[in-house]
Structure 1
């Protein structure tokens, strides 16, 4: 790979600083990842984080957020044509060119964030899966492309992992999202358990809510376990990183079980002591 132009190098430095400040959301700072890849992952994170913030932060109207996302998409397309001087855009354009990354994955992310500005309910699992296909799966596919892993079987397992992690994050954040007027639970599944969006938080519905969450968490757990079949496709350090990501998701599910699935009132989180166990399990999965 040719030497990185100075403006792009400055953009990478800015992106790495941002990613390090938000490590809980993206594993850029992980020592498990090869150092020469970290700047490229960091600038992809900058892209996704910026678009997400446009969609979700502040007090702007839906139309204002959508207009800003449209402008962000225009800037992205200008950047890959080499028309922008901003350092981070130049860094992203360099990464896309150097690794021949698929443009559709970036466009899908913006599409999902644009949907976030207006859609607060999901009728069924199919609608949620379609959202995950655009909000989560592109990140996994871009990571595979960075490591030149380009086959449909690897993509299939990566999609399983990313969709499952997105759904687990939804279940983990039920108590947070409801305060923002969002419900990332399929409404048809609520109905099947004799719940509605207006009553599933009530104490008298705890039993039915717990049964529903047991089903949903179990489905996501099975997806993560199936996604483990991705590991043999990966080089060791990336394999260790992805194994840790999978095991982190499984640990959140275990914590959801431990609170009897009552995520409408309790938000389960990983503690520092959990990470050692996750690391040991992940090393075993990476080696075996």
Structure 2
């Protein structure tokens, strides 16, 4: 009897344990490659507490898996965490198509071939739309959704003048000094924590010296595609939202500071997804996990506990 009580108490403590920084690695694990067209670079922490679903991280446009370095190691103290570089980004292969549906198909492929089981998906921006696609098209693989500032009214063609600094930077990748200067001139998607407007003004996680590592492997054809193409697959987003059956948490900033989730977009999500929680972070715009990782993780944990696997299940 005493042994059973102790066992139940131990299981309860394990389920409700918080992150343990002492065990937290500083970087992502070694990159691995999922063969295919295109090849997909991914990072897999392995491990995880028995009975917890895996967590899959999906980054936004022009980023790469390193954009989750403030989040991945902490989540990995409890969960198996998988992140991957989107096609044309980071270490993943370049592609013929950069339609939204192609990005979404890659996400489902990683779920089926790498995670090989259900997971909670945490997606930012473009990654959030891919997470929605997974929930609609492969519901058996999605235990829960965390959508960070999803642009549910996915824009079609990018504006050439707005993206000119990015295009100029990508033309300088062969000259490290010129590349760094050009990256420093790229406007931020939303103001930094101290009102910074460009990567050159930033310090720390999004300093230009770090962002060059994000952009050095970005396929310029991805940017040109977005500048020249009205992505007809964007019309599928509403269908993906309507197909979500899993619990979902939306984390977003303020539209005046660059959040892509306006009132109409939030209403569309609330109308379609029955089990939905929306949390707005005052003083932030499009990026929350990078600027404010601690509050971001604090918002995640109750949701991750709620969608945990049934007691007694084992992880991969």
| TM-score normalised by length of structure 1 | 0.29
TM-score calculated relative to the size of structure 2: 0.27
Which structure has more helix as a fraction of its residues? 1
**Which has the bigger relative contact order, CA under 8 A and spacing at least 6?**
2
